[in-house]
Amino acid sequence: MSPFKTLNLPNGQTIGNRVAKASMEENLADADQAPSAALYRLYQAWADGGAGLLLTGNVMIDRRAMTGPGGVVLEDERHLAQFRRWAEIGRSGGAQLWMQLNHPGRQTFANMGQPALAPSAVALEMGAFSKLFAEPRPMSESDIEEVIQRFATSAALAEKAGFTGVEIHAAHGYLLSQFLSPLANRRTDRWGGSLENRARLLLSVIEAVRQAVSPQFCVAVKLNSADFQRGGFDTHDARQVIEWLNELPVDLLELSGGSYEAPAMQGEARDGRTLAREAFFLEMASELASVARMPVMVTGGIRRLPIVEQVLESGIDMAGIATALAIEPDLVNHWRAGRQSEPQLPPIRWKRKPLASLANMAVVRFQMARLSRGRKPRPEVSALWALILDRLYLGRRTRQYRQAMSD
């Protein structure tokens, strides 16, 4: 199937082609955690690049719960004009623009100075890096109800701002993914125990979001095909959750995998075994797509047109591309014009996997930061240098965030 064929969604909306700019955490909010001029320039580059769908990086539903200090927050109307500008720019090339909504749960950095809500008091296991994260506090019933309402409120505000959809992030070890995981969720009430109970929060969020937005507004879900941890959420669990999602008005299902503890989304499993370099969730995603009644998108390592075509031929409806579009934002236009571009970052083969994961994210953010300043990406940047710059920037943003929260 041609990547340039349109995709019709269950709610009647259409995506112009089968390639999506998948989410990457930009950390480019202004001092008020609102969209910035830098973020506008970055999304203008992607809007001009030819992808049919642009998914934003994490937009937080609660400024007290951040995945990073430079993240964007949408919890009320105070900065709605800036979100409208972001939407105008993101849609200026004809792409659908969907806002990814997220809550970090226990994946909250301790230096942010905020409590970490989680299904249970189970801390992250990342060896020497575990202390970087706040000690999680089990959520009360009222905490859970508030989170459900916050997802719905943020979705309604996204529609009001002019975005064409939202994606509910239930993957990569964030809060909704934590509830799904039997390792992170040790609850004995209606939110824990059986898979049905562990999936209750995700399903409740989807229902609340759908009630808060119009029928033509797109609602997508990002789900792990597996957590890549022994005893964790696995492909069998994912299959059952998808069967439940089939009964809800979900317009697209994005399949990925991994978490901070096992960053498979970056191409490495927790035990260090090498996964396929491109489309490394494809085999599992193809199996799961056969269960799904909504369109399915797979994300993870895709950077070549033949792989996109392989993804589509396997029964997947869309290919999500992240890092390659941070290196070459015009990649889809180049492919359409017949240029066989294959953007790639040099592999980071450090022995300490968590540090290598941080360096990988730093190198990608380095490329996005250059695009946000109107400059060309520099994929050959030293991973160590990018990591140092990233730590300095995040340290400054963390101090800024803590000061703002204490005022």
Q: What is the DSSP string of 65-116?
A: S-SSTT-EE-SSSTTHHHHHHHHHHHTTTS-EEEEEEE--TT--BGGG---E
Cα–Cα distance for residue pair 259/107, rounded to 1 Å: 9
pLDDT in 10s for each residue of the chain, 407 residues:
899 999 999 999 999 999 999 999 999 999 999 999 999 999 999 999 999 999 999 999 999 999 999 999 999 999 999 999 999 999 999 999 999 999 999 999 999 999 999 999 999 988 888 899 999 999 999 999 999 999 999 999 999 999 999 999 999 999 999 999 999 999 999 999 999 999 999 999 999 999 999 999 999 999 998 777 777 888 899 999 999 999 999 999 999 877 776 654 444 433 333 334 444 567 778 889 999 999 999 988 889 999 999 999 999 999 999 999 999 999 999 999 999 899 999 999 998 887 898 899 999 999 999 999 999 999 999 999 999 999 999 999 999 999 999 98
Tokens standing for residue 325: 């579009």
Q: Which CATH architecture has domain 7-347?
A: Alpha-Beta Barrel (3.20)
Domain segments of the chain as ranges: 7-347
Q: The pTM is what?
A: 0.94
All residues at 6 or more sequence positions from 25 whose CB lies less than 8 Å from its CB, including other chains: 57, 58, 67, 68, 71, 361, 365
Q: What is the pLDDT of residues 138-194, one digit of tens each?
A: 999 999 999 999 999 999 999 999 999 999 999 999 999 999 999 999 999 999 999
3-class secondary structure, 321: strand
pLDDT of residue 219: 98
pLDDT of residue 272: 35
pLDDT of residue 398: 97
Q: Distances in Å between the alpha carbon of 214 and those of 92, 159, 217?
A: 22, 8, 5
Q: What is the pLDDT of residues 4-63, one digit of tens each?
A: 999 999 999 999 999 999 999 999 999 999 999 999 999 999 999 999 999 999 999 999
pLDDT of residue 268: 40
Phi, psi angle pair for 196, to nearest 5°: -60, -45
